[in-house]
Structure 1
């Protein structure tokens, strides 16, 4: 294959950089002691206030618990409820000893009803014990770059060594929202579990009904943590996630921050899912060229002033040998703002192309005569 690393096309697009923070004084006045707004797709920070201060996070802990449940178990897995998951302090879905419950129902009970008992049941099923599950939570946090977070339990009941930061919790929430099943769960207003007794789980998160485009995520409260809230909303294909910690006016803080971000930053489309981006040559193929595409819509938040500062670069193999299979990874689309890399996504071939047979080669030979 012949390599070309600079197949560059300039488009009037947008970009951002995750290391650029918005000074909190530019945004609304809020009651939260720490807060952040982050774009889910790109990770760009659109607002920040004291985002690296370590604080307790109450039941927003369960975002990580749910993410690990989805990453490490099937929704249809049957969980036998252990004794230690029965009667856990605080919010509950009233699990019974030796009851058999689907993992899917446990995760809905965890995120919609904030079941502390559900958190313990999930932890025990996946890791064998709460302690081992917390070790898994902490390893996963570090993988996501949440280096100032420490989990001591899967539910968020207070422990002096159980803490996060607004930035870390946004990273965790972003990763969770990129999981389609998690995204569906936290946007669900009512779930009916496949069990007897307490089986109707109504979502406690008022964002779903009070805020335009609201689609998640999780409430949390203890006396030590104060009111903690992770919210998300999607408008025009752009999903933002907001974290407020120790926020007396938690919902209004979140709505004000989302309003600020949606007003200041507009979605700019760089690539549409499965739409043509570039053609590459196919050597010895029944077709001489094939298109390359992105598997996702690439939409980035930018201010009006940033629109002309974006450059995108396609890095691909310019020639492929036939046969070519559809959805073969062929390169990357990289987006830059002021020469700084902001977002990268993989590119793929759009179609199958068979290799020329003897008849095809003979026809080519005749046509060249």
Structure 2
């Protein structure tokens, strides 16, 4: 059974946006919605923006307290460096700071060899993760981003990758750090890694993400900022004026696509004896409200979800594209008293389910049972 409704109409189309980049994208991190894109699906070299993928793969596959030993291959890596010495050991956590704050190519190689068993093995994990996230215009050949044939991504893919990575609290903490002190095994003084991302000090609310440059790709940048509970991130590839462009892009996004509460937890649904079970927010431009519709989809009374108290889903669409959904319950349901599950938690659970499905070792009955439990508890 379904029902539909629309929000009140509005006007005012957002002003146009221009950057100096060959490719660019602006997106809302929470929803993953791309708010602006120019040549967004064009595959291009991305320099050290590659390290966004390196970091999230290392965080997910490695152990942060492990000591990473620097090999000859890592020490000899060209380009930006944190000046690791042959045989030097550093925790994976601290090496990730060197990777993301100072863009150390030696750190990237050492991390790859440690986590992946070899640089080639780690690159395989990078491409597996790209497929998992749904990056359709990306291919990785190395963990550092030095120019190499068939190593590329796109502005839109980098937006999707960054939205995924920023939901990881370890990643978010690292890329928002301005200065990191790290133990030095050779001297009494500590290493001090100052973040190359100038946006952290020049833009109000800035909290990430990564710079990049090679002579071939030129300047590349992904930046993020949070204001009034909304986190936006901008991507530019080959941009001669990226600091100014990112300030402009983020301002444009916050001004024109504020995060709006589409539905509130506990809100009654007109014409039905149900209430909304989870708050739903989405970045919406003023004139887009006329395109938003809701659709109530009710469950069969003999379904597992129904027996657990859920009565259906209130789905939200914009121009027939699904934005998201919230579960609905009876007005007196005790399910409403349960705390809302954060999107980060849902993402983690969803990822776990996908990983388990991809790596089942024959115990499909266990997986199916566990999957049903997650469905019941979190409406994934």
Does the TM-score normalized on the shorter chain lie above 0.5?
A: yes
TM-score by length of 1: 0.77
Equivalent of residue 27 in structure 1, options 10, 13, 16: 16
Indicate whether 1:45 and 2:15 are aligned.
Answer: no
1:107-133 CA distances to partner (integer Å, 9 max, x unpaired)?
111111111111111111111111111
Larger RCO of the pair (alpha carbons < 8 Å, separation 6+): 1
Quickly say closer, same or farther: Cα 1:270–1:133, change in 2 above 3 A: same
Q: CA RMSD in A?
A: 3.2
Structure 1 residue 106: Cα displacement: 1.1
Q: In structure 1, the residue corresponding to 2:283 is in which secondary structure?
A: strand
Quickly say closer, same or farther: Cα 1:28–1:70, change in 2 above 3 A: same
Q: What is the rounded CA distance, in whole Å, between the counterparts of 1:91 and 1:9 in structure 2?
A: 55
TM-score by length of 2: 0.75
Structure 1 residue 248: Cα displacement: 0.6
Q: 2:242: which partner in 1?
A: 250
Quickly say closer, same or farther: Cα 1:135–1:251, change in 2 above 3 A: same
Whose strand fraction is larger, Structure 1's or Structure 2's? 1
Q: What is the rounded CA distance, in whole Å, between the counterparts of 1:79 and 1:316 in structure 2?
A: 53
Correspondence 1:125-140 to 2 at 5 A = 125-140=114-129
Correspondence 1:1-369 to 2 at 5 A = 6=2, 12=7, 27-196=16-185, 197=187, 199-270=191-262, 275-276=265-266, 293-294=277-278, 298-313=280-295, 334-344=315-325, 349=335
Q: In structure 2, the residue corresponding to 1:141 is in which secondary structure?
A: helix
Q: What is the rounded CA distance, in whole Å, between the counterparts of 1:256 and 1:298 in structure 2?
A: 28
Question: Looking at CA atoms only, which structure, 1 or 2, has the larger radius of gyration?
Answer: 1
Check whether the contact 1:102–1:194 (CA below 8 A) recurs between aligned residues.
no
Structure 1 residue 333: Cα displacement: 5.4
Structure 1 residue 100: Cα displacement: 2.4
Q: What is the rounded CA distance, in whole Å, between the counterparts of 1:271 and 1:53 in structure 2?
A: 36
1:4-55 CA distances to partner (integer Å, 9 max, x unpaired)?
x65x6868499xxxxxxx99xx633321111111111222221111112221
Q: What is the rounded CA distance, in whole Å, between the counterparts of 1:278 and 1:193 in structure 2?
A: 53
Structure 1 residue 246: Cα displacement: 0.5
Check whether the contact 1:13–1:269 (CA below 8 A) recurs between aligned residues.
no
Quickly say closer, same or farther: Cα 1:331–1:208, change in 2 above 3 A: farther
Quickly say closer, same or farther: Cα 1:278–1:85, change in 2 above 3 A: farther
Whose helix fraction is larger, Structure 1's or Structure 2's? 2
1:68-117 CA distances to partner (integer Å, 9 max, x unpaired)?
01111232222233332223212212222332221111111111111111
Q: What is the rounded CA distance, in whole Å, between the counterparts of 2:234 and 2:314 in structure 1?
A: 27
Q: In structure 2, the residue corresponding to 1:110 is in which secondary structure?
A: helix
Deviates more, 1:85-94 or 1:194-203: 194-203
Structure 1 residue 309: Cα displacement: 3.3
Check whether the contact 2:280–2:325 (CA below 8 A) recurs between aligned residues.
no
Check whether the contact 2:119–2:143 (CA below 8 A) recurs between aligned residues.
yes
Q: What is the rounded CA distance, in whole Å, between the counterparts of 1:346 and 1:107 in structure 2?
A: 39
Structure 1 residue 172: Cα displacement: 1.0
Q: In structure 1, the residue corresponding to 2:160 is in which secondary structure?
A: helix
Q: What is the rounded CA distance, in whole Å, between the counterparts of 2:316 and 2:173 in structure 1?
A: 29
Q: What is the rounded CA distance, in whole Å, between the counterparts of 1:183 and 1:298 in structure 2?
A: 23
